[in-house]
């Protein structure tokens, strides 16, 4: 987005290119995210390869319901792995003669309070290099250098959960045409996909779960048990070729800017995976940031830079509210007799009440934000 506005930018990445291209992450893109990629001319492969979904399926009490948000909004959710989005960005930067600098080690950020920020790193050949810039965009995640650099100057609101998501990728045919969340008294099961014969599935498990204790057979048995329905065929099993465990966490740090160092995406906030907002929020942060920086270079205005944190945080907290709503409805939280009947009542409401379903769908497909920029 910066290069498109004629603003020079350099992307540093700690890992090597093969690692980044293969790193498995979520894969549900909001319509809003797809619109941004489309405007950048980066959606050709996405349109050819992605799966276009109307919403998702919701299953509970052995019954299956399709929540069709497309019918309500005319918009879609798109299944396209995060690694594919990243690959398209890497290829585009290469084409524009600004290739990603991979294997950048020992990165440090200085001068962000004096208006003369510098980013130093050691390149793949072991040479120390320094980049002088006007702005630093910290897009390096929760464990990255940028967040650590300003840790003393930001305040963090956080909620943790007593459970994690055990995720698999498997060679099996999806049983639903679109993703499905199954709420079961014992916990959530997610049935998602990456293609006609690849499924991406998740199970709610205790936070202290040992992945080695979950054989493929045990995972399939639990997925099938939780997902069993009277109105649908059983899950198809298949070879599991990736297995991972992800803790759930909700976290927001404020402000998202300290001097000329800006935090974007997971460097500033984390959402639980329910509803798949993480990547999408990073894209909207990047839009808000690029708009603010673009305005500065186009007209000298600083108000958009000053508003960056508040503007981004408005959308971040909307996403937190959405993710919390879905997370609390779909996961088992308590052993008391209230947990399941309360969750079931909320789920039934989404099936019975058009307004409640629309409210969820509106955020699921992406709250709008300005992507066509004019500076006056
Ligand atoms: C997927 C990820 C999610 O976080 C989710 O809520 C649904 C699907 C996925 O990886 O396909």
C-beta separation of 330 from 58 below 8 A: no
The residue nearest atom 3 of ligand 1, judged by CA position, is 276
Rounded distance from Cα 351 to ligand 1 centre (Å):
21
- CA separation, residue 330 to residues 23, 51, 69, 103, 203 (Å): 27, 24, 18, 39, 11
The residue nearest atom 5 of ligand 1, judged by CA position, is 276
CATH for 160-248 (3.30.1360.100, 3.30.1490.20, 3.90.550.60, 3.30.9.10): 3.30.9.10
What lies within 8 Å, CB to CB, of 75 at 6+ separation is: 31, 69, 365, 366
pLDDT value, residue 270: 98
pLDDT value, residue 373: 64
143: which 2 tokens?
Answer: 């464990």
Give ligand 1 pocket residues (Cβ under 6 A). Answer: 26-28, 179, 190, 192, 200, 273-276
pLDDT value, residue 369: 74
pLDDT value, residue 325: 97
Distance between first and last Cα of the chain: 19
C-beta separation of 103 from 123 below 8 A: yes
C-beta separation of 258 from 112 below 8 A: yes
Interatomic CA distance for residues 20 and 337, integer angstroms: 45
- CA separation, residue 30 to residues 69, 78, 283, 340, 368 (Å): 12, 7, 10, 29, 10
Helix, strand and coil percent figures for the chain, each rounded to 5: 40, 30, 35
| Active-site residue flag, 70 | no
pLDDT value, residue 282: 97
pLDDT value, residue 168: 97
pLDDT value, residue 372: 60
pLDDT tens for residues 79-105? 999 999 999 999 999 999 999 999 999
Give me the catalytic one of 57, 80, 181, 308: 181
pLDDT tens for residues 52-71? 999 999 999 999 999 999 99
Asked whether residue 152 carries a pLDDT value surpassing 70, the answer given is yes
Which pLDDT band, with edges at 50, 70 and 90, does 24 fall under? Answer: confident
What pTM was computed for the model? 0.95
pLDDT value, residue 120: 98
pLDDT tens for residues 225-245? 999 999 999 999 999 999 999
Of 33-37, 111-115, 163-167, 372-376, which gets the smallest average pLDDT? 372-376
Asked whether residue 167 carries a pLDDT value surpassing 70, the answer given is yes
For residues 33-40, give the mean pLDDT: 94
pLDDT value, residue 103: 98
Pairing of strands 136-138, 187-195: unpaired
pLDDT value, residue 26: 82
Helix (H, G, I), strand (E, B) or coil at 131: strand
| Active-site residue flag, 364 | yes
Asked whether residue 108 carries a pLDDT value surpassing 70, the answer given is yes
Rounded percentage of the chain residues whose pLDDT exceeds 90: 95
The residue nearest atom 9 of ligand 1, judged by CA position, is 26
pLDDT tens for residues 123-147? 999 999 999 999 999 999 999 999 9
Average pLDDT, the chain: 96
Q: Which residues, listed in sequence order, are joined to residue 193 by a DSSP beta bridge? A: 199
For residues 194-218, give the mean pLDDT: 96
Give me the catalytic one of 269, 272, 273, 291: 273
Interatomic CA distance for residues 86 and 90, integer angstroms: 6
Asked whether residue 376 carries a pLDDT value surpassing 60, the answer given is no
Which pLDDT band, with edges at 50, 70 and 90, does 25 fall under? Answer: confident
Rounded distance from Cα 268 to ligand 1 centre (Å):
21
Asked whether residue 368 carries a pLDDT value surpassing 90, the answer given is no
The radius of gyration computed from the CA coordinates of the chain, to the nearest angstrom, equals: 21
In this structure, which topology does domain 3-56+75-157+249-364 adopt according to CATH?
FAD/NAD(P)-binding domain (3.50.50)
User: Which residue ranges does the chain devote to CATH 3.30.9.10?
Assistant: 160-248
Interatomic CA distance for residues 290 and 297, integer angstroms: 11
Helix (H, G, I), strand (E, B) or coil at 169: strand
What lies within 8 Å, CB to CB, of 215 at 6+ separation is: none
Quote the DSSP letter at residue 336.
S
Of 86-95, 194-203, 334-343, 365-374, which gets the smallest average pLDDT? 365-374
- DSSP for 74-119, written as a single string: S--EEE--HHHHHHHHHHHHHHTT---B-S-EEEEEE-TTTT--EE
| Active-site residue flag, 243 | no
User: To test the ligand 1 pocket, which listed residue (57, 192, 243, 329) has its Cβ within 8 A of the most ligand atoms?
Assistant: 192
pLDDT tens for residues 304-358? 999 999 999 999 999 999 999 999 999 999 989 999 999 999 999 999 999 999 9
User: Which residue ranges does the chain devote to CATH 3.50.50.60?
Assistant: 3-56+75-157+249-364
Q: How big is the CA angle at 168 (ends 162 and 169), to the nearest 5 degrees?
A: 155
C-beta separation of 273 from 164 below 8 A: no
């Amino acid at each position: 987005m910066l290069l498109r506005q004629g603003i020079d930018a350099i992307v540093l990445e700690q890992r090597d290119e093969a690692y980044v291209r293969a790193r498995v992450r979520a894969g549900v893109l909001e319509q809003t995210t797809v619109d941004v990629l489309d405007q950048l001319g980066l959606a050709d492969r996405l349109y050819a390869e992605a799966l276009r979904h109307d919403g998702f399926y919701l299953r509970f009490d052995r019954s299956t319901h399709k929540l069709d948000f497309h019918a309500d909004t005319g918009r879609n959710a798109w299944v396209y792995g995060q690694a594919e989005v990243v690959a398209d960005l890497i290829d585009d930067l290469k084409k524009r003669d600004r290739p990603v600098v991979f294997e950048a080690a020992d990165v440090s950020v200085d001068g962000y309070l004096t208006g003369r920020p510098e980013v130093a790193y050691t390149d793949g050949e072991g040479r120390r290099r320094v980049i002088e810039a006007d702005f630093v965009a910290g897009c390096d995640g929760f464990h990255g250098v940028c967040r650590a650099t300003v840790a003393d100057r930001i305040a963090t609101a956080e909620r943790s959960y007593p459970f994690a998501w055990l995720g698999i990728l498997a060679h099996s045919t999806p049983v639903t045409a679109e993703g499905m969340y199954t709420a079961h008294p014992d916990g959530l099961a997610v049935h998602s996909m990456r293609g006609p014969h690849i499924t991406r599935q998740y199970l709610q498990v205790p936070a202290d779960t040992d992945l080695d204790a979950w054989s493929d057979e045990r995972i399939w048995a639990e997925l099938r048990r939780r997902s069993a329905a009277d109105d649908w065929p059983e899950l198809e099993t298949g070879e599991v070729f990736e297995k991972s465990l992800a803790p759930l966490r909700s976290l927001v740090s404020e402000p998202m800017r300290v001097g000329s160092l800006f935090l974007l995406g997971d460097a500033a906030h984390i959402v639980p995976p329910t509803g798949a907002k993480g990547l999408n929020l990073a894209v909207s942060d990047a839009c808000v940031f690029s708009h603010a920086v673009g305005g500065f270079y186009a007209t000298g205005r600083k108000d958009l830079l000053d508003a960056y944190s508040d503007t981004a945080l408005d959308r971040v907290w909307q996403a937190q509210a959405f993710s919390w709503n879905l997370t609390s409805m779909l996961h088992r939280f308590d052993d008391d007799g209230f947990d399941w009947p309360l969750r079931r009542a909320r789920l039934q409401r989404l099936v019975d009440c058009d307004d409640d379903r629309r409210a969820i769908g509106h955020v699921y497909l992406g709250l709008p934000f300005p992507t066509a920029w004019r500076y006056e």
